[in-house]
Structure 1
Amino acid sequence: MFKKEVYIKRRNYLKDRLKEGVVLLLGNSEEPINFPANCYRFRQDSTFLYYFGIDVPNIAAVIDIDNDRGIVFGDDLDEDELIWIKRESNLKELTDRSGAELRQSKELKNYFRNRSVRIIPQYRSSNIIKLAEIFDIKCHEVEGLVDIELVRVIANQRLEKEEREIYEIKKAIEISKGMFEIAFEKAKDGTKEREILAEVEGYAIKNGVWLSFPTILTKDGAILHNTTHENTLRKNDMFILDSGVETKEHYASDITRTVPVDGEFTPLQKDIYQIVKKAQQVSFDSIREGEMFINLHLKAARVIAEGLKELGFLKGGIDDIMQNHAYALFFPHGLGHPLGLDVHDLEALGENYVGYDESVKRSNIFGLKSLRFARKLKENYVMTIEPGIYFIPKLIKKWYEEAKFKEFINYDRAFEMLDFGGIRLEDDVLVLKDSCDVLSESIIKT
């Protein structure tokens, strides 16, 4: 936990902007895998962590704006739980460290009688059930209680990172650096993907952290979130490693590299890699406060379109290719996303509230609709920048059968690439007033 003044200051920011009402934040509980006593690794809700910092299950908290109070509702471990569960501090000590007061769980429901309650969107069914019980409503009615003003205030506050948060992200990146050094070293002919995975993830655990998301390590890189690791690597193969860790305070890293087996790309792999690298560098060069992130995405997409046209995969005028978004066959995802307490920071609150606002609305165009964040950047935002080029067999075949963009796509050339996979580069970037700081710049890339 940070010092209690940090959490008090954060809660006061919320109070000053919302003016009235009671904010209810539910912490997470432990969730069973296949029977009650066998649970997934516990992960506290990030918004709860941001305002209270208490990293234990089965608690809730309120920020009572009307009465200027922060209250945690929970119970210490009972006699049976003490046998099985280790907790470094009792709940009273943890609550004191967050600058709040402690009350028993049973008092929570009565606290809201005749009060204006504000909640955020829920992503766990167990918490939806809890809220339905608290407010005596049906589970499907819980969504109607979500306060959009609260969501937008939290998003704006959490997007701008404090110095201590940036420090934590840098700590996570430093551990990621060691993981990627292992991956490049172990990328040898005859090695299985899972053998490299074991060493990469083991390095994180040795360094006292956990993963911020399931590791993507695969030569089948055309499937963007492929988490199978069964391939044996051979000379002239390459694989995508997209991984991250989170510190004890739960701040994340998120890095991607495309790794050639035995340390050398084929000429075609190198050509495509250089296009992706150039698209990323153009993005870095354009980042500054006030820049629309959607414009960064389109600049990167244009570099990719120009490069693929030069290699014969696209044809026609670049302006026409861009206007019709034909490049999205090869670059079907967004350029990046916010990073912080979540690897996709604040995504639980809803991308349309976090990444979009009155200045830019979400597109329904293929590829562009997958852009998680489009709005104007501000100083101290931390973003990922992750352009990529992919040859997705089923998508290529589908578009070909539909004769989609046949005036722009050279399908004969694309069909030669069905076994190629994909190339992606991803770095974590701090937005500055007139430029950016590539926080993960020291991680091996070429």
Structure 2
Amino acid sequence: MLNKDIFIIGFMLFALFFGAGNLIYPPTLGIESGTSYWAAIAGFILTGVGLPIIAITAISFSKSDVRELADRVHPLFGLIFTSVVYLAIGPFFGIPRAATVGYEMSAVPFTGDSNLSLFIFTTVFFVLVFLVSLNPSKMVDRIGQILTPILLLGIFGLCIGGFFLLQNGLEPPSEKYSNAAFFTGFVEGYLTMDAIASLAFGIIVVNAFKDRGVTSQKKLVLSTLKAGVVTGIALTIVYTSIGWIGAEMATKGSYNNGSDILSSAANIIFGNFGSLLLGVIVTLACFTTSVGLVVALGQFFTQITNLSYRWIALIVTIGSYLIANQGLNTIINYSVPVLVFIYPIAIVLIMLTFMHRLFGGATSVYRGAIILTAVISFYDGLAAFGIEMANVTSVMEKLPLFNIGLGWLVPALFGGLIGWLFRKKVNY
């Protein structure tokens, strides 16, 4: 395996990950964390970069896709969980978020924000997404190969300009980051959706190495890990840089979301041309990501339904279009509870994959850990949605690490332990 192949696949993976969430959340974290920025961004990187790399490596261990991993709990769980993952990164949140970020960074600075302008932008955006997804061939890959370096150069230029022109000092952290900034950033890293996306993208990386002649398990895992490190370094640089821009923009005004922060920063540093250039590049990046996700969902749901690829692509595109027209802030507000519920389950599933041989792959261990994790994360999701459960909350607050958003961790360990103790008493 040549180092060139490692870098090529590493940058391919970066292109798959690099979408709307990678741009809008770090600036928001920066502006809210203020003087606690470095602790907050460290936690964010742990879940926004570390977990996706670990997940990709976990897929290389099993040489299978996410459904085969989830089937270790139960085939029905595998089907449901995998479907939820694909729907979350697809029409429910991922694709609509990409479209609205493109809209807010390329259209809003010049046309203003209105329902009509959003409608026009998303109509054109999703008609093109559907048409290209019907026969993507190598066009999207070629656009991504050209676009990703240009986008990185644009972000690099923005960060360099921000370093010299936005030296305003950091504001005190908001209440959200005033205590345990690291763990707050850790939970905020969920919002990139990269860890659950990596469960779907992992098999692409594995097959890319197989196509290059990597056959042994050891070399496959090592090569995947190296490619993941390349991706991780690139993502870390981007997150840290644009997060710092957010921290420096705190004194420049108030903003609706991360895309608003970056658009304003580009305007301050480079003028209207900077806003236009950054907006167009980001929109194209979000476009290629959206096409890739439509294709991925089409391929997955074609396998588990009687619908043709064309019909699934049409349904996914229309669903994404309708949700995108609710606006970016609405999408973000509804995505948070779902991701708070899904992420702990995904994390535990990934960790169990690494420890699979230690407990002999006993199904009871998978089930014990996942069931208790799901119970706690389901409560966390409802709480994030604003549903008050005073009696349940009083019990949950007694869990270790609950106050830093990791209340599911000890129950997951306990459930896995119970499953391990009973592995010989049940037929699993």
Normalising by the smaller structure, the TM-score range is under 0.3
Q: Calculate the TM-score normalised by the size of structure 2.
A: 0.22
Structure with the largest fraction of strand: 1
Q: Larger RCO: Structure 1 or Structure 2 (Cα < 8 Å, ≥ 6 residues apart)?
A: 2
